[in-house]
A and B are shown apart, each in its own frame.
Chain A
Amino acid sequence: MIHLNNISKSFGKTQALKNVSLQLDAAKCVGLIGPNACGKTTIIKTILSMVVPDSGEILVNGTKITGDVRYKASIGYMPQIGRYPDNMTVSQVISMIRDIRGYEGKEDTELYEEFGVNKFCDKKMRTLSGGTTQKVSATIAFLFDPPVLILDEPTAGLDPVSSGIFRDKIVREREKGKLILITSHLLSELDDLLTDVVFMQEAEVLFYKSVEELYTETGEERVSKAVGKLLKLKMR
C-alpha cells in the first residue's frame, strides 16, 4: 500500500533520512522503532507530505503522492503531540475535519464512545490535558474509517484503561485488513500488537522483519527482548 523508494532528507546539516526504502502492505501492523532522533517522525511526515523529501519517491496505492492530495483521505493520522487551535471546542474541531474531508461513508464512532469524548466535547482545546488531547487525536484518526492508520507515539500520554481500549481497537482494525504504522520507543507497549518491525538507527533502516522471523532468530517471545537481543548480535 505504501512504498518508499530511496527517500533522503536533511534539515540543514543534520541528515534525517538516508536512502530509506520500505514497503508496507495491508493487514499489517508495522512498528517503527528506534532511538530518539533516528528519523521515525520524519518518515511519517514525509508520507503525509508535511515534510518534502530531498530525493526519492513515495507511492501510496501505486500512485506518486506529489501534487495530488487525495491520497490523504485514505490515511488517518494521529500526531505525537496533537496541537489544535486553542479557541475551538472539541466538537468544532471534529466537525471542521469532517467538513474538510467530505467523508460520506459510515463513521467509526467506537473510540468516540469508548473514550467518552461526548463528556468533554464542549471544552476548548486549550483547556484539555495532554492525555485528553491524545484521545481527541485518536478519535479523529479512526473516525473516517481510513484503510491506513499512522500513529505517532500513540499511547505516550494515555492512562492504562484508555491505553487498553486503544490497543484493542488497533487489533480489531488490523484484523479488518488495514495497514497500521506505529512508532514508539516503548517496546513493551507494542507486544502482541505488531506483525512486523522496522528498526531505524541514525537515519537509516537497520532491518525490516516480521515478528515470527524475529522470534525464531532470537529464540525470544517478546518484541522488546527480541529486538534487544538482535541488536546485541549485530553489534558483535
Chain B
Amino acid sequence: MKNITKFVISDIMRNRIILFYLLMLCLFSWSIFSLEDNTSKGIMSLLNIVLLTVPLVSIIFSNIYMYNSAEFIELLVSQPVKRSTIWKSIFIGLSVALMAAFFIGIGIPVLFFVPGLTGATFIVTGMLITAIFVSIAMLCSILMRDKARGIGLSIILWLFLSLIYDGLVLFFMFQYADYPIEKPMAILTALNPVDLARIHVLLQVDTEALMGYTGAIFKKMFGTGPGMMVSLALMVVWVAGPFYLSLRLFDKKDL
C-alpha cells in the first residue's frame, strides 16, 4: 500500500496543475489578509473563496486523474495486490497531495494571521472538504465509464452542491415560512458538505450576523460545542460514504 501511495503522490507532485492550484491559493490568502485589517472578517472572505474553489479543483483534478490512471490501475490489478489496496492508496495519494497544496497555500498564511483555534478549525475544514470532493470524484469516475460523462457529472455535482443547493433551500424556506421548519432545515443543511463546512467554521468564529439562517438553527439546536462535533462527524461521513461506495463498486468492476 505504501509503495502505491508513494508513487501516486510523487506523480501528482510533478503535475503542473497542482503547482498552479497552490499559487492560486497563496494569492487568495495573502491578498485577502493584507487588504483586510480585521482578521475575523478576512477569514470570512477567505472562507467564501475556499468553499467555491477548493471543491471545484479537488473534484475535477481527481476525476481527470482517475481517468488518466486507468492503465496504471489495470497494470496493478494484474499484479498480486488487492483491489481495495489499490483504491485506498489512490485515495490517500490524491487527498494527501491536494491537502498539502491547501496547507501550503492557505494553511500557513492562516496560521500566521489567525493563530489559535479559529485558524486550526479553518484548516481542518478545508482539508476535509478536499477529501470529501476527492471521494465524490472517485465515485463519479467509477459510475461513468466514459471520461467526458464522468467529468460532466462531477461538474454538475459541484455546481449543485456549491450553488444550486442553497437556492433550493432558500426557496423551500420561503415557501414554508409559516411552518416550524427548523428541524427539516437543519437536516437539509447536513445533507450538503459545503454548507456543513461553512457552518463548522462559523460556529468557531461565532459571528452570528454572518451565520445565516441554517447556521443559526444549527447553533440553536446543538449549541456551539456539540454543534461543531455534529458538523465535524457529518463531514467525516461525507468522506467515508462515497469512498466506501466506490470501493465496493471497484471490487466488482470488469477492467
**A, B in one complex:** yes
Q: Which residue, of A11, A86, A96, has the highest number of chain B Cβ atoms within 10 A? A: A96
Q: Which of A29-37, A65-73, A199-207 contacts B (4 or more CB under 8 A)?
A: A65-73
Please tell me if the beta carbons of B3 and A96 are within 8 angstroms of each other in the complex.
yes
Contact among A52, A72, A83, A87 for B74, CB-based, below 8 A: A83
Whether, in the assembled complex, A101 has its beta carbon less than 8 Å from a beta carbon of chain B, the answer is yes
Please tell me if the beta carbons of A50 and B81 are within 8 angstroms of each other in the complex.
no
Smallest CB–CB gap between B96 and chain A, Å?
18
Q: Give the docked Cα–Cα distance between A79 and B79 (Å).
A: 12
Please tell me if the beta carbons of A69 and B81 are within 8 angstroms of each other in the complex.
yes
Q: Give the docked Cα–Cα distance between A166 and B208 (Å).
A: 74
Whether, in the assembled complex, B7 has its beta carbon less than 8 Å from a beta carbon of chain A, the answer is yes
Please tell me if the beta carbons of A52 and B69 are within 8 angstroms of each other in the complex.
no
Whether, in the assembled complex, B176 has its beta carbon less than 8 Å from a beta carbon of chain A, the answer is no
Enumerate A47-89 residues with CB–CB distance to B below 8 Å: 48-52, 69-73, 77, 79, 83-87
Smallest CB–CB gap between B220 and chain A, Å?
50
Which residues of the other chain, A, contact B72 by a CB distance below 8 angstroms? 84-85
Which residues of the other chain, A, contact B68 by a CB distance below 8 angstroms? 86
Whether, in the assembled complex, B77 has its beta carbon less than 8 Å from a beta carbon of chain A, the answer is yes
Please tell me if the beta carbons of B71 and A100 are within 8 angstroms of each other in the complex.
no
Nearest residue (CB) in A for B74 is A83
Q: Give the docked Cα–Cα distance between A185 and B75 (Å).
A: 24
Please tell me if the beta carbons of B78 and A72 are within 8 angstroms of each other in the complex.
yes
Whether, in the assembled complex, A97 has its beta carbon less than 8 Å from a beta carbon of chain B, the answer is yes
Please tell me if the beta carbons of A73 and B11 are within 8 angstroms of each other in the complex.
no
Q: Give the docked Cα–Cα distance between A149 and B79 (Å).
A: 13
Please tell me if the beta carbons of B254 and A50 are within 8 angstroms of each other in the complex.
yes
- Are A48 and B78 CB-contacts (below 8 A) given A85-B11, A96-B7? yes
Which residues of the other chain, B, contact A71 by a CB distance below 8 angstroms? 80
Whether, in the assembled complex, B76 has its beta carbon less than 8 Å from a beta carbon of chain A, the answer is yes
- Are A100 and B79 CB-contacts (below 8 A) given A11-B254, A45-B255, A51-B254? yes
Q: Which residue, of B7, B76, B79, has the highest number of chain A Cβ atoms within 10 A? A: B79
Please tell me if the beta carbons of B71 and A84 are within 8 angstroms of each other in the complex.
yes
Contact among A85, A86, A100 for B81, CB-based, below 8 A: A100
Please tell me if the beta carbons of A52 and B252 are within 8 angstroms of each other in the complex.
yes
- Are A97 and B254 CB-contacts (below 8 A) given A50-B74, A85-B72, A87-B14? no
Which residues of the other chain, A, contact B254 by a CB distance below 8 angstroms? 11, 45, 50-52
Enumerate B42-83 residues with CB–CB distance to A below 8 Å: 68-72, 74-83
Q: Give the docked Cα–Cα distance between A205 and B68 (Å).
A: 36
- Are A83 and B77 CB-contacts (below 8 A) given A50-B254, A52-B254, A99-B3? no
Please tell me if the beta carbons of A85 and B69 are within 8 angstroms of each other in the complex.
yes
Smallest CB–CB gap between A36 and chain B, Å?
19
Nearest residue (CB) in B for A78 is B78
Contact among A11, A70, A79, A99 for B78, CB-based, below 8 A: A79
Contact with B along A139-152 (1 / 0, CB 8 A): 00000000000000
Smallest CB–CB gap between B75 and chain A, Å?
6
Contact among B71, B82, B252 for A83, CB-based, below 8 A: B71
Q: Give the docked Cα–Cα distance between A50 and B81 (Å).
A: 12
Smallest CB–CB gap between A78 and chain B, Å?
10
Smallest CB–CB gap between A44 and chain B, Å?
10
Contact among B74, B76, B83 for A100, CB-based, below 8 A: B76
Which residues of the other chain, B, contact A85 by a CB distance below 8 angstroms? 11, 69, 71-72, 75
Which residues of the other chain, B, contact A48 by a CB distance below 8 angstroms? 77-78
- Are A72 and B71 CB-contacts (below 8 A) given A52-B252, A87-B11, A96-B7? no
Contact with A along B74-95 (1 / 0, CB 8 A): 1111111111000000000000
Contact with A along B1-31 (1 / 0, CB 8 A): 0011001000100100000000000000000
Which residues of the other chain, A, contact B7 by a CB distance below 8 angstroms? 96
Q: Give the docked Cα–Cα distance between A79 and B81 (Å).
A: 17
Q: Give the docked Cα–Cα distance between A72 and B85 (Å).
A: 15
CB-based closest 6 A-B pairs? A83-B71, A72-B80, A73-B80, A99-B3, A51-B254, A50-B255
B-contacting residues of A (Cβ < 8 Å)?
A: 11, 45, 48-52, 69-73, 77, 79, 83-87, 96-97, 99-101
5 example contacts (A-B, Cβ-Cβ < 8 A) are as follows A51-B255, A52-B252, A72-B80, A72-B81, A85-B72
